[in-house]
Amino acid sequence: MERTSLKQYTKSARKGDFVQIHKVILAPEERPLDLPAATKAVPYEGWIKGNLLDNKAEIGDTVRIETFIGRELSGTLVEINPVYDHNFGKPRPELLSIGKEARIVLEKQKKA
Amino acid sequence: MKIDTSYSSVMSRKNEILKASTGIDYQQFEISPLAFDYEGLMNSGGYSLSDVQKIQLQTGVGNTPLVELKNVTELVRSISAPGKGARIFVKDEQTCPSGSFKDRRASLSVYHAVRLGYKGVVAATSGNYGAAVASQAAKYGLKAIILQEVYDSRKVGQPEILEKTRACEAYGAEVWQLTVGPELFYAMLLVLEETGFFSASLYVPTGVLGIETLGYELAQQVKEQEGRFPDVVVVAHAGGGNVTGTARGLQKAGSHNIVVVGASVDLRGLHMASDYDFNRKSFTTAHSGFGIPFLTWPDRTDVPRNPARALRYLTRYVLVSQGEVFYVTELLAKLEGMERGPAGNTSLAAAVPLAQELDREQILVIQETEYTAAGKLPSSQLTFAEENGVEVRRGNPRENIPGKVIVIPEQVEQMQVEEVSLAKIRESYLKNAIETVKGYKPTNKDILFLAEDSRSSVEFVQKTLNSLAAAKTEAQT
């Protein structure tokens, strides 16, 4: 399962903390008309990381951040010390034997 | 005065924003409503092939090894007819600084941005190109902003793209992780307007020209090692830049008879702008969802005219299934000791059946590899697929259904390519071209352009346009 232990569950951040903000870029009604229904029904959203510029903030507050390139952006604070949690996946039985099977074919080929 | 940032307002300022952010007046290359000066646009930066080589050498891009896949070749020969089974080589592009051939594209665009005096670069891309732009920007001391389509509306991210976010941030870029939608282009325009940065789009001329060195090197290396040019080069195809740049480079090396085969993963039936379908695909690039639309209409992109025009260069276009790519990814790791990412392995999946058509002494080259990592591995993608309701099993890969079932082959004999008819693609391209200029009557110059742009003939274009017009009249009566 996901290693959620890496995530911090502190709710408040201080100036300089590394955080992630969320922005609604277009509300559903502001999106172009020619979209599939499932896409048109939801807002167009974005997430950006940076260091908190406000002195103190709680999750859910509107905050300002400085991004890696020094730009100032504002949005809703959603995560403090955001974690990369994509991983290597689970071992897949469908894949594990492929190498061995191919080796057997190659051995036969060599003998022939 | 506050600038209007509504969708329609920003889109209406598209041309001025792109002109300011690329330094290119696209208008000057327009010949008619249909035709434009393709070579003029491609060479608008004034870079020769040797200029590009010198620029890329400065940041360690290119000069990648050509590796013969001897064990994979033997495996293919074990199932080939007597005398068949070409030698398979791969160009190991993962040795570029950020781990893929995309460094070739980014290196020239970022260099160009510096030359033009821009302080930063912007690219909208969910692929390796983002990391390449961020890496090159780091080398030149420019600021980079990368916009990615990452999440569906549940904030569930495609693992491969989450890895690209990590890579871009590792190189110091500001990354916008966005939800599914074609508004990626809108977001890019917004950021370009706000910052005044250079648009390092995949489709500015430098972004395509930078790949010519790959085709050139490949042809030269095979010639040096084997005394002749390769017979077939397989290129993973998505937006068209890879095919276009590689084929142009092959030609510049003096090898005009090489068969250039485009290969994409079959994701037909999945809608690229669908919030639901988004996380039911296990490949985020080199798939048919980009490959086919970009062939039938290359100008559907984030620049007014796209210099990546794969239809001009492809001799053949084939599809492979997701399961077949996962299968060969395992083969490459276990038989050749090369653990590589999905894009290059798309070409390898096509190479296995294609090599069986060729004679033993012939040479087939897979033109790229890419780095692999968490999120990009078959195990990450298959775990993710299952979590999103996609069935994963071994069996006959022809039973693969994009978004529903991934079938990993049980034996190498089961691997096949599905041929895409380029004649049909050309017809669709001509139909799209004519639809963009409703009411305009193509001149002889236009017909010549369309023939070149679709790698067909004046006769084919005329015949197709006539039958399209006849079908239209029939529909109206």
Are B410 and B427 found together in one domain?
no
Distance to chain A for B375, nearest Cα, Å: 6
**Cβ neighbours of residue B40 closer than 8 Å, sequence gap 6 or more:** B29
User: Does the beta carbon of B269 lie under 8 angstroms from any beta carbon of chain A?
Assistant: no
Which helix H or strand E contains B178, and what residues bound it?
Answer: strand B174-179
Contact B145 A69 (CB under 8 A): yes
Contacts of B120 in chain A (CB under 8 A): 69
Residue A4 has pLDDT above 90, yes or no: no
The SS3 call for residue B169 is: helix
Best CA proximity match to B165, nearest among B381, B374, B386, B379: B374
Amino acid, single-letter form, for residue B220 = Q
Which helix H or strand E contains B204, and what residues bound it?
Answer: none
Residue A6 has pLDDT above 70, yes or no: no
What's the number of domains chain B is made of? 3
Contacts of B384 in chain A (CB under 8 A): 89
The SS3 call for residue A36 is: coil
Among B174, B191, B207, give the residue marking a domain's end: B207
User: Does the beta carbon of A108 lie under 8 angstroms from any beta carbon of chain B?
Assistant: yes
Contact A46 B178 (CB under 8 A): yes
pLDDT band at A5 (very low <50, low <70, confident <90, very high): low
The number of CA neighbours under 13 Å toward the Cβ of B394 is 12
Count of other CB atoms within 10 angstroms of residue B13? 14
Best CA proximity match to B149, nearest among B125, B133, B169: B125
Locate the chain A residue with the closest alpha carbon to B333: A99
Are B286 and B397 found together in one domain?
yes
- Pairing assessment for the beta strands B87-91 and B120-124 based on DSSP bridges: unpaired
User: Does the beta carbon of B154 lie under 8 angstroms from any beta carbon of chain A?
Assistant: no
CATH of the domain at B452: 1.10.10
Contact A105 B172 (CB under 8 A): no
Contact A69 B174 (CB under 8 A): yes
Are B413 and B451 found together in one domain?
no
Reported pTM: 0.96
Has residue B2 been placed in a domain?
no
Locate the chain A residue with the closest alpha carbon to B156: A86
Are B347 and B411 found together in one domain?
yes
Contact B334 A98 (CB under 8 A): yes
Among B207, B237, B263, give the residue marking a domain's end: B207
User: CA B51: distance to chain centroid?
Assistant: 23
Are B272 and B414 found together in one domain?
yes
Are B43 and B86 found together in one domain?
no
Has residue B1 been placed in a domain?
no
Mean pLDDT in order along chain B per 10 residues (477 residues): 89 95 95 96 95 98 98 97 98 98 98 98 96 98 98 94 98 98 96 98 95 98 98 96 98 95 95 88 88 94 92 98 97 98 92 98 98 96 95 97 96 97 97 93 96 97 94 79
Which helix H or strand E contains B286, and what residues bound it?
Answer: none
Are B76 and B200 found together in one domain?
no
Count of other CB atoms within 10 angstroms of residue B457? 12
Contact A92 B378 (CB under 8 A): yes
Best CA proximity match to B125, nearest among B112, B109, B141, B142: B109
ipTM of the complex: 0.93
Contact B180 A70 (CB under 8 A): no
Contacts of A71 in chain B (CB under 8 A): 145, 174, 195
Has residue B45 been placed in a domain?
yes
Among B399, B419, B439, give the residue marking a domain's end: B419
The pLDDT score that the predictor gives to residue B276 is 87
The pLDDT score that the predictor gives to residue B191 is 98
Contact A32 B120 (CB under 8 A): no
Contact A94 B392 (CB under 8 A): yes
The pLDDT score that the predictor gives to residue B284 is 84
Which residues share a beta bridge with A46?
A23, B178
CATH of the domain at B37: 3.40.50.1100
CATH of domain A4-85: 2.30.30
**CB nearest to B379's CB, from A88, A99, A103:** A88
Tell me which residue range forms the domain holding B256. 60-99+211-419
User: Does the beta carbon of A91 lie under 8 angstroms from any beta carbon of chain B?
Assistant: yes
The pLDDT score that the predictor gives to residue A98 is 98
Are B199 and B71 found together in one domain?
no
User: CA B15: distance to chain centroid?
Assistant: 24
Q: By the 8 A CB rule, do B83 and B359 touch?
A: yes
- Cα torsion B37, B39, B44, B46: sign: negative
The pLDDT score that the predictor gives to residue A8 is 59
The pLDDT score that the predictor gives to residue A2 is 47
Best CA proximity match to B418, nearest among B296, B297, B288, B308: B288
Which range (A8-12, A70-74, A79-83) has the least confidence?
A8-12
Residue A7 has pLDDT above 70, yes or no: no
Which residues share a beta bridge with B407?
B393
Has residue B442 been placed in a domain?
yes
Are B119 and B68 found together in one domain?
no
The SS3 call for residue A42 is: coil
DSSP state at residue B12: H
B21-54 tens-digit pLDDT:
999 999 999 999 999 999 999 999 999 999 999 9
Which residue ranges make up each domain of chain A?
A: 4-85
Are B349 and B405 found together in one domain?
yes
Q: How far apart are CA B306 and CA B297, in angstroms?
A: 10
**Cβ neighbours of residue A100 closer than 8 Å, sequence gap 6 or more:** B334
**CB nearest to A69's CB, from B74, B120, B333:** B120
Are B306 and B376 found together in one domain?
yes
Contact A30 B7 (CB under 8 A): yes
For residue B467, CA distances in Å to B102, B124, B429, B444, B477 come to 40, 38, 14, 17, 15
Are B375 and B399 found together in one domain?
yes
